[in-house]
Structure 1
Amino acid sequence: MQHETGRIAILEDDPIMGESLCQRLSLEGHQVEWWTKGEEAVRKLSDGSPAFDLVLCDIRLPDMNGEDVFRQSSRETPTPFLFMSGFGDVDQAVRLMRSGAVDFITKPFEMSALLDRISSSLRTRSSAAVEGVLGISRSMRDAEMMLRRYASHPLPVLIQGETGTGKEVSARFLHRASSDPASPFIAVNCAAIPADLLESELFGHEKGAFTGANQLHRGYAERAGNGVLFLDEIGDMPPSLQAKLLRLLEDNKFHRLGSESPVSFKARVVCATHHDIGSEGSTFRKDLYFRLSALPVTLPPLRERPEDVLWLAQQFLEDIIRNRNVKVRGISSLAEDVMLEHPWPGNARELRNRLERAAALSENILLLPADLFPEKKGFEGRTGETLSEARDAAEKRQILRALSSTDGQISQAARQLGVSRTTLWEKMTRYGIETRV
């Protein structure tokens, strides 16, 4: 099977392990360089020589800690690190992943397992150039890369953000980026199922377990198999069930209601909530929160990433046109202006709903402001605005349009706008527009 190859640095002080890794990776087609000291690694990673695609780094080194090498070198030239450690534990893995490491493997390991991790890390690096899936803003691209990084790990993931920011979309993206995207993805909305039924729905029940239980029922946890159990709105889960979920995560098994036989649980747990369940005032169990938030992701509201508004609108509208019999074929410039001024309290969900309604009801080829915002009486613009403020607002809107049409590619947007890349970057900085470099 064809696999990714790249330029790999090995930081390993054990001569037998280091030589073995060098030989095997060279045979696999990689360009390999081997270092035995952290100081040497920091110097080589920061001296401006050709960049490495991956650093395979031991944690325990004779002169410094592998994490220190990672932090010092990342300040100069960010390079993906895959850590190896004979002293690995969950806390260390979490700390490294949160710091930006692409992967972590515990010694002793099978060489085949390491090669799989290396290939996965190199694929993740090459996928950084792929067009955004969740958005073109820097914050959403960062979230996307974090999810790619988390994809190969079995630890729970907690996705937090306001209602409508795309938490389930992100969870499904994480599943697609995993090693087995064909495995089940079972979504459970904890707020939509009555509290007295949620346990039965989650864990299942035996025939005769209670009145009305006329047959065996396999719950969501069982149906998830080796895939993902996605618990949406986990902050609304009843306290009694929180304790049972904690036990599920600790024991990797559960009991159907009315049964004494344990059922093995192999799925990965991914949760989402719009509540701040980790705050001091939250009634959510702290021990469960710490287990669920091993790998966290926070999605910012749409009002904080205006770069995504027109880009998302275009994605949504293309999907609507493809799947609905509508007359609409695009969005007018006037409507785009109003969309960029709107605060979007309902986030991406509100944007999608407005487009769905407007496309269904509009008789126009291009959506107008009144189609999207029928509740507003007029669109005369803001009053009391100086000429300079109006010019700046128009320039910002045009930059956002260009970024949307080029999927956040600054060089392409600059050419479209007829300015240099440096000029566009300066204007983006001035207007607080953030996207990838």
Structure 2
Amino acid sequence: MHELASIRRLLIVEPCEECLRLIPGLRIAGWEVDSCTLDAAASRPCDVGLIRLMPQHFEQPQLIKELITRSNTEWIAVLTAEDLRRELIGDFVCEWFFDFHTLPFDVARVQVTLGRAYGMARLRAQGATYGNGPEHELLGESRPIRELRRLLTKLAPTESPVLIRGETGTGKELVARTLHQQSQRRNQPFVSINCSAVGEHQLQAELFGYEEDGFSGGQQRKTGRIEAANGGTLFLDEIGDLPLDVQANLLRFLQDRHIDVNGERVAVDVRVLAATHVDLEAAIRKKRFREDLYYRLNVLQVGTAPLRERHGDLALLANHFAHFYSQETGRRPRNFSQDALVAMGKHDWPGNVRELENRVRRGLVLAEGRQIEAFDLGLLGEEEISSSMGTLDEYKCRAERQALCDVLTRHSDNLSVAAKVLGISRPTFYRLLHKHQIR
């Protein structure tokens, strides 16, 4: 059973010769590899998808968007460097794909990217079903996390909606899964949807279901997230990004607990949990969020503390992630040098626990010695701080590379956002990545 659970399924869509040459090495590395055309991709189950993007795909991007939206998979784009330099294509790739590779392949980086994508796909799949196992515990012994665990034990047995508030990366979905696991609904589905990650025109369909053409020419109904959560828990992440028209429909459902299915009203029993990092009260004043929906969702409230207020938990969390991702990547577990621990303690962690998780994952891949060093985490250690700066050009180059590493750690799932954070255009961002040989 353990061997079956560890199978990693890779689907290569529209494979080119370079893609096909990767397959033997990927199979040796433990991947179960399949390939197909774009038309057949939706019916092929996989954990990670690799798509060779061709000119016809750029002319009809909707086909790619629909595949990515409807699958519970992390997708990686393969294209030429010339295609990537075209701004509209760069935008498309950054918005819709987990990562990209340009031809010819850097085989070592392909292996790393596939491993990271598999980890993200597995976490996403767990978020859409049940949240169990040690990786889903609220770890830490700092006062904020102890108080949070105590509060959740009180709120979990109730049927009331809960609004979870906190900065990005502080574990709001983990709080929601914990509430579900400690409730009477624990053996029923836990279904989540990130309202900021789904296009405005698709949210209505994703929540309430939609009709689509079947292979036989008839209409087939796709079950929405609300109906899929029947008997269990529905988690609405980033609820502040819900469009006003969908807010109205969600409010109507919360009031009467019915949805329309093929013209009939069907009762749905779900407990609704919602999360946000934005100021909903301010959004109400700006007419961007319905006040009546706010009061429906904010019956009970939970706050998650930022990592800068939980510095006592840093070493424990870092070691937890190091152990977890060493199993995923097949690399031996490593601990952290004293210099790395000091560097983590001095860092402000604007991306919170998610940033720590990403830095540790990166550190495991880059570490060459017996321990993970500050440099492997993309942080400055004591030696770098105290060493001579060298020439001004050398200093600027180090600072530039550090900025790129930091922004990729925090926004590696969205390169378009990463470029905006640095205040540069996407083409400039790509050129800097190439200059510093980061990707």
1:273 corresponding residue in structure 2: 276
* Residue among 221, 241, 247 paired with 1:242: 247
1:260 corresponding residue in structure 2: 263
Indicate whether 1:368 and 2:361 are aligned: no
2:201 corresponding residue in structure 1: 196
* Contact 1:206–1:216 under 8 Å retained in 2: yes
Q: What is the root-mean-square deviation of aligned Cα atoms in Å?
A: 2.5
* Contact 1:155–1:268 under 8 Å retained in 2: yes
Q: Which amino acid is the alignment partner of residue 281 of structure 2?
A: G
CA distance in 1, matches of 2:331, 2:297: 43
For residues 62-100 of structure 1, the C-alpha deviation after alignment (integer angstroms, 9 at most, x for no partner) is xxxxxxxxxxxxxxxxxxxxxxxxxxxxxxxxxxxxxxx
1:77 corresponding residue in structure 2: none
- Cα displacement (A) at 1:324: 2.1
What is the 5 A alignment of 1:266-415? 266-279=269-282, 281-282=285-286, 283-373=288-378, 379-380=384-385
- Counting aligned pairs with the same residue, the percent is 41
- Cα displacement (A) at 1:354: 0.4
2:52 corresponding residue in structure 1: none
* Contact 1:184–1:227 under 8 Å retained in 2: yes
TM-score normalised by L of structure 2: 0.53
1:148 corresponding residue in structure 2: 153
1:176 corresponding residue in structure 2: 181
Query: Displaced runs of 4+ in structure 1, greater than 6 A?
Result: none
1:415 corresponding residue in structure 2: none
Count how many residue pairs are aligned between Structure 1 and Structure 2. 248
Q: Secondary structure at the match of 2:385?
A: coil
CA distance in 2, matches of 1:138, 1:186: 30
- Cα displacement (A) at 1:305: 1.8
What is the 5 A alignment of 1:203-222? 203-206=208-211, 214-222=219-227
CA distance in 2, matches of 1:347, 1:322: 23
- Cα displacement (A) at 1:260: 2.6
Q: Which amino acid is the alignment partner of residue 243 of structure 2?
A: P
* Contact 2:170–2:352 under 8 Å retained in 1: yes
> For residues 318 and 327 of structure 1, do their structure 2 counterparts lie closer, same or farther at Cα, with a shift above 3 Å needed?
closer
- Cα displacement (A) at 1:237: 0.4
> For residues 193 and 174 of structure 1, do their structure 2 counterparts lie closer, same or farther at Cα, with a shift above 3 Å needed?
same
Indicate whether 1:226 and 2:231 are aligned: yes
What is the 5 A alignment of 1:413-432? none
Q: Secondary structure at the match of 2:234?
A: strand
> For residues 249 and 379 of structure 1, do their structure 2 counterparts lie closer, same or farther at Cα, with a shift above 3 Å needed?
same
For residues 252-282 of structure 1, the C-alpha deviation after alignment (integer angstroms, 9 at most, x for no partner) is 11224xx431121201101111111123645
Q: Which amino acid is the alignment partner of residue 245 of structure 2?
A: S
Normalized per residue, the structure richer in helix is: 2
CA distance in 1, matches of 2:378, 2:211: 51
CA distance in 2, matches of 1:381, 1:135: 32
What stretches of structure 2 of length at least 5 have no aligned partner?
A: 1-136, 388-439
* Contact 2:343–2:379 under 8 Å retained in 1: no
TM-score normalised by L of structure 1: 0.53
CA distance in 1, matches of 2:264, 2:310: 50
- Cα displacement (A) at 1:322: 2.6
* Contact 2:343–2:382 under 8 Å retained in 1: no
Q: Secondary structure at the match of 2:303?
A: strand
> For residues 276 and 213 of structure 1, do their structure 2 counterparts lie closer, same or farther at Cα, with a shift above 3 Å needed?
farther
What is the 5 A alignment of 1:30-179? 133-179=138-184
CA distance in 1, matches of 2:383, 2:281: 43
CA distance in 2, matches of 1:313, 1:143: 20
1:66 corresponding residue in structure 2: none
CA distance in 1, matches of 2:338, 2:218: 58
Q: Which amino acid is the alignment partner of residue 155 of structure 1?
A: S
